[in-house]
Each structure stands twice: as C-alpha cells, then as structure tokens.
Amino acid sequence: MDISLARTVEAAASAVSAKDSLNGVLSLARAAFDPAPIAVIIACDGDVLRPLAWQGLAMSEAPLASNDPLNQYWPAHRPVEVFHGAHASLLPGAQFYAGIALVDDEQQPLGLLAVASLVPHQEPTPAQLSLLEHTAHIAASLLQHRQNLRRAAIVAQASEHVHEGIVICDAQGCVRWINAEAQRLVPALSVGQPFMDVFPSHLQENAAALTQWLSTPENSARQQLHYLTADGQTRVLEVARSHWNYEQERGYTLLLHDMTEAAQQRSKLDHLAHYDSLTGLPNRNALLAALDEHPHWGVALLAIDRFKWINDGLGHSVGDLVLQAMADRLYPYRDAATCIARVGGDVFAIACSDERFAPAGSRHADIFVREMMLLLEQPLHIHGHEVRAEISASVALRRDVQAEADLLACADLALNRAKAAGGRQLNRYVPHMRIDALARRDLDLELRRAFAHSEFEVRYQPQVELLTGRICGAEALLRWQHPTRGLVPAGEFIDMLSRSPLGVEVGRWVMQRACLDAMQWPDVTTSVSINLFPAQVDETLVDAVENALNFSGLPANRLEIEVTETTALTQEGAGARALAQLRTRGVNLAFDDFGTGYASLSTLQRFRIDRVKIDKSFVHGMLTSSEDAAIVRWIVMLARALGLRVVAEGVEDQHQADLLRGLGCDEAQGYLYAQALDAASFSERLRTQLAEDPHG
C-alpha cells in the first residue's frame, strides 16, 4: 500500500513539475489519503490569507475573514499539524484535518497546504505525513516561482517609468534585459550582445579598466561611459553596478544616468575657471597649474602702463579691444614650451621651459621679453583712434626663486618695481625683492595697528613771508609716535602709507584734524596746507573736503590742498574735476615739489592753481649748482608771470633765504624758521607774533 502510494505520488509529482499546476499539487495531496479528502492551498499576502486553489469544497479567492478558523490557526508550524473530531473544524464540517506551512528558501512564510475529511479518518501513517511534506515542498516551490514572476512583472513595469536606464547582464557581460530608458540612452544596445561592444574604446578614458570594473564585485565606485550617438554627438553616462546571484546564475545589473548636460556644464565651468573669457588665453589658474605640472625656467610679465587712461578716455569697449589685440599678438608664440596667459586686468604672462629662460641663457630672456615689449607697443588703430600703449615688464628665473610655484609671485614683485619706477622698463627679479616685500607687509600691518591705536599725530611747519618774516601759514605734516621706537622718521613710512588703501583713511583724518586745529589758532588769517596722497584725488575728494570744513567750521579760503605734478597728471578725469570744483568753492590749490614732475609748464597751463612749491632738492643745491639755481630762478619767474605765489621748501640757512628773497620768492619753510610743531606750540608761536605786531 505504501509503496504503491509512493509511486502514485512520484508520478503525480513529475506531472506537477512539468505543468507547474497548483491543482496538480492538490491532486497529489489528496492521493496520499484514502478516501480522498478535500484539499486547499492558502497563500499569504502580508498578514492576509487568500485561497489560491481548492478541491472538494466550495471557496472563493476572497481574503479569509479575520475570524475564520484558518486565519486563527495562521501562522502554521512545521511539522504537519493533525486534528480529529471537533478540533478539525479548521475547515467547515471536517472531522479530520492535516495542515503544513509553506515557506520559501529563506524560511519566510508563503502560505498553507491543508487536507481534510468530512468523515473520521484514522491517524496518518508516517509515510502519508512524509508524502504530505514532500507535496508541500512542491507547492512552496510553485508559490515562490509565482511570487518571483509577480515581483519581476512589477519591477519590469516600474522600470519602464524610471528616469534611469537599467541593464541586466550575465556573468560574461552579455545583455539579458534592458528597460525603455536604457534603450533610449543607448539605442544600439540589444539583448544578447556584449554590453561594452556599443561603447567605442577610443572614447573611454580607460576601456580596459572599465571592463575590469564590470567584472570585479569588490569595486563598486561609479564610472563614466561615453557613447557616440547616430548624429555624432557624445553622450556621457554615469554607471552604477551591482552584482546578483540567482540559483546557479550570476551577473550584474547596471544603472545608467545621463550626465551629458552636467558634463557639458562642468566643461564650461572648467573652461571659465581656466581661460580668460575676453581674450581666450589661459588665465592665472591655468598658468599656475602649468607651473605645477611641468618645470619651467622662468616667467615674464608684460603690463600696459596707465591702462586706466585708455578705459577712461576712449571707453571700456576700446580697452577690451586693446586687450584682445595684445592677446592676438602674443598668441603665435604659444608652443609646447611656452604658456601665454592673461593673469590680470592688463597683465599678460609668458612661462617658458626652453633655452630662452634657461640658466645659461638668462640674457636671452631679457632679449626675448624686450622683443615682446616692442611688439605690444606697436600702434593700434581702433574705431578711428590710434592707441599707443607703453609696456612695463618683469622676468623671474627659476635659479633666483626658491620654489617653482613662487615664479609668478616673484615676477609680480619685479613688475611692481618696474611700474613704481615710472613704467616702460624691464625689471629682473632678484632675491632681495622678496625680503623687501615681506618688510613692506610687516610695515603695512604696523601702520594699521598704529592708526587703530591713535599713534599718528599732526604737526605744523610754519610758512613765513620772506620779506617780513611773518608766519602766514603752516603745512600739516603727519608724524608717527611709536610706543617703543619713539618718533619714526617720515621717510620710513610715508611712501608705504601713500601706496596703501589705509592712506586714504589716514589722509581724511589728517584733513579733519588740521581743520579743527586751524580753527583754534589765534590768527584767523593763517592758512593750513594739507598734502594729499595720490589715492585721495578721486571723485570722493570734494565730499571729503566739504565734510572736514563743515565739521570744523574752517572757511574754505583758509584751506590749501597740495598735490604733486605727477598726481595731477596721473589722476586726470574724475580727480582733475574734483580739484577744479574745490578751487571754484574757494579752496586754494598748490603744486608740491614743483619741477620734479613730467612737464611743469604744460601742467601749469592745464590746471588752475594758486601757489607752487619749489622742491627742497633745488633749494639745497642752488648755492653750489648753477643748474639748480637756474631752475629756481625759472620757477619763480614763471610763477610771477602767471600770477602765482611761490613757496620754497627745505630752507635751512640764511644764505638760502636771502637768495630766494632776492629772486622774488614769496614764502619759505624749513628748519631755519622752525621744525614741525605740535598744535599747541604752533598756536603759541602765532600768539607771540600777534603780541609783537597785533596789526600784522
């Protein structure tokens, strides 16, 4: 009986395996018992039980009610649960019940296989129970397969609506399945072909590494693939990969994300980060990268002197065209050994790695750079204007620089020296420039600290009438009372302050302080003269002067503004207009250090001023140098012819004063009369003068 039953079950099992039929499983389960009972397969969907197949009773696929006996029995447990009599009422009217849980390979519940009889049944034999368990195993396999198909269908349907391409490959890299997005991204991709065949190796950064990446489970980093579309465009794909194992099969799943637009944006940003948008030349970042990547013998810088004049006089559009023309002239000199870049507003750089800048040929570097200077100084004709640019240049050679990364910085230092010396010259970097630069930086920091801690003072050097010896005014001079060094000589910090942004702030403070002090002087006819830093002569000057006058109450005709010829010439435009407005409002103007500028006569013709000040260098030399004496005589004659008053600076002895008075000079200042005095001492001098001669 048992052997016969076993053969029957075995045959039925073969049939079931072939048909994948749940009804076949039920027939198999019923065949294990005599008489044939009713049978049912229940599947679980989360916490819900739903009949899938049944024989011998009427049921529906509706979920079982929460109070259904089978629901109460769930979850079932292994081994087979057997009940008789009233306890078998898990199925309606049953007198016998045998049920077994169906689980997947992970021992997770799939459902329930149960058989029952409406009449009493003897206790199942071990063989019947074993066959029921075997049948349950077949049923579980069918349910798991059904569940996998269902999940696969859901995944397949969902994958058609995702924004990433999905490609499933076998272990050999052949495509097994692709979704619609993957097909759109890679139209040439088809099932059955090797995945990498549609990606040209010459477009990939490293095709061999990509192939290895696909087959190496440990390496899970994302990679980039480049695909050539039918219209010749390159599509950039970011690829993520995960490996899978199913039964005896292995492979990997690829997620494809279109990064073409992002890659293009990155490329544009990278280009903007490394190339100048106006000239198309590499920029400072690109030059620094080139210096880091390859050894270079040196760097040269070429800058347009007074480029601001071109922008202010002809407009920024012409200025841009000038820069583009300069770049076009330099561009042909680019080669494998030469990087040409625009590294600043009007500054171009040339980095060479060949013999031109080699240690043995440093003289050739100077010759080459001078040739470039002459090239850039050739006249340009733009929109009807002839533009002649003057060029300052510098060279920094690697032999003179500690680290190659410092080449550009050292060339900058040398260029600053060339410009400070008047421009239109070539300056070679030497090591002491770095030391000087560090010293200037330290001095700048110390000056900022000094201003913040009120260490600056304003002192006043009397200006006297040469005919009467009477004090008629004073020049306000900035002094620095250092907490440990004492009084710092002006020559040690004034030049640095004039080049620093701090100079404008300090200059305004000096103006306010001097106006306030002048209001306290006992002689209301005495004027105060203030020497401006070049950076103060701009469109903000008028407001700064008016604020100082309004705050102090000083009349405008008691204030004199001093500027050098050089400042007047280099601050044309807004600065020149500001000086003209101040004179219109009653403020006196004077040229300081007259005779040392570009072109004194033309300067006097272009600017309306009240006084000129003879530079002390001519005053000191006029007793021993016929040239200096002639210059002083010429300045006095020119000023008198133009109706200007003349002040001589640096008068230290009576012989100088007598000669100046004889030449017709109006006023003088210097140690012969007094050193610079603090406000209280100067007021006392005026008070004494008034007491001696109250009517002037």
For the domain that residue 406 is a member of, what is the CATH number?
A: 3.30.70.270
CATH number at residue 559: 3.20.20.450
**Computed from CA positions of residues 13, 18, 21, 27, in that sequence, does the dihedral angle turn out positive or negative?**
negative
Residue 34 lies in a domain: yes
Residues 145 and 200 in one domain: no
Residue among 643, 642, 619 at smallest CA distance from 631? 619
Average pLDDT over residues 413-425: 89
**Sheet with 249-258: strands ordered across:** 175-178, 165-170, 249-258, 234-246, 223-228
Phi, psi (deg, nearest 5) at residue 680: -65, -45
Q: What is the token pair recorded at 639?
A: 């000023």
Residue 438 lies in a domain: no
Q: What is the DSSP letter of 529?
A: E
Cα 76 to chain centroid, rounded: 65
Residues 259 and 309 in one domain: no
Residue 439 lies in a domain: no
Q: What is the pLDDT of residues 384-398, one digit of tens each?
A: 889 999 999 999 988
pLDDT-based confidence at residue 488 (cuts at 50, 70, 90): very high
Q: What is the token pair recorded at 322?
A: 């000038």
The count of structural domains within the chain is 4
State how far the Cα of 470 lies from the Cα of 638, in Å rounded to an integer. Answer: 25
Please, are residues 534 and 498 in contact by the beta-carbon 8 Å criterion? Answer: yes
For 249, other C-beta atoms within 10 Å of its C-beta total 10
Longest distance between any two alpha carbons in the chain, whole Å: 153
Tell me the pairing of strands 471-482 and 249-258: unpaired
State how far the Cα of 650 lies from the Cα of 672, in Å rounded to an integer. Answer: 8
Residue 52 lies in a domain: yes
Q: Which of 241, 263, 285 is the last residue of a domain?
A: 263
Tell me the pairing of strands 38-45 and 48-55: antiparallel
Average pLDDT over residues 197-218: 78
When computed from its CA atoms, the radius of gyration of the chain, rounded to whole angstroms, is 49
**Count of H-run helices and E-run strands, the chain:** 23, 26
Residue 436 lies in a domain: no
pLDDT-based confidence at residue 14 (cuts at 50, 70, 90): very low
State how far the Cα of 244 lies from the Cα of 171, in Å rounded to an integer. Answer: 9
Q: What is the pLDDT of residues 27-75, one digit of tens each?
A: 878 877 777 687 777 777 666 777 777 877 777 767 776 667 666 666 6
Residues 664 and 596 in one domain: yes
Residues 100 and 126 in one domain: yes
Q: Which of 107, 133, 156 is the last residue of a domain?
A: 156
Residues 258 and 304 in one domain: no
CATH number at residue 193: 3.30.450.20
Average pLDDT over residues 76-104: 74
Give the lowest-confidence range in 198-212, 351-365, 422-436. Answer: 351-365
Residues 6 and 109 in one domain: yes
Q: What is the token pair recorded at 379?
A: 């006249």
Residues 416 and 509 in one domain: no
Residues 300 and 175 in one domain: no
Residue 87, SS3 per DSSP: helix
Q: Of the ranges 12-21, 128-137, 347-356, 680-689, which is most confident? A: 680-689
Residue 435 lies in a domain: no
CATH number at residue 129: 3.30.450.40
pLDDT given at position 663: 94
Residues 596 and 507 in one domain: yes
Structural domain span for residue 115: 2-156
Residues 395 and 498 in one domain: no
Residue 449 lies in a domain: no
Q: What is the DSSP letter of 7?
A: H
pLDDT given at position 696: 58
Question: In sequence order, what are the beta bridge partners of 82?
Answer: 98
Cα 248 to chain centroid, rounded: 53
Q: Of the ranges 90-104, 246-260, 534-548, which is most confident? A: 534-548
Residues 257 and 283 in one domain: no
State how far the Cα of 568 lies from the Cα of 590, in Å rounded to an integer. Answer: 11
Please, are residues 548 and 458 in contact by the beta-carbon 8 Å criterion? Answer: no
Residues 12 and 136 in one domain: yes
DSSP letter for each residue of 253-296: EEEEEE-HHHHHHHHHHHHHHHB-TTT-SB-HHHHHHHHHHS--
pTM: 0.55
Buried b (16+ CB within 10 A) or exposed e, 116-145: bbbeebeebeeebbbbbebbbbbbbbbbbe
Q: Which strand (E) or helix (H) includes residue 70?
A: helix 69-73
Residue 173, by phi and psi: left (phi above 0), alpha (psi -120 to 50) or beta?
left
Q: Indicate whether 651 pLDDT > 90.
A: yes
Cα 219 to chain centroid, rounded: 32
Q: Which of 130, 156, 182 is the last residue of a domain?
A: 156
Residue 27 lies in a domain: yes
Better pLDDT: 329 or 113:
329
pLDDT-based confidence at residue 141 (cuts at 50, 70, 90): confident
Q: What is the DSSP letter of 222?
A: -
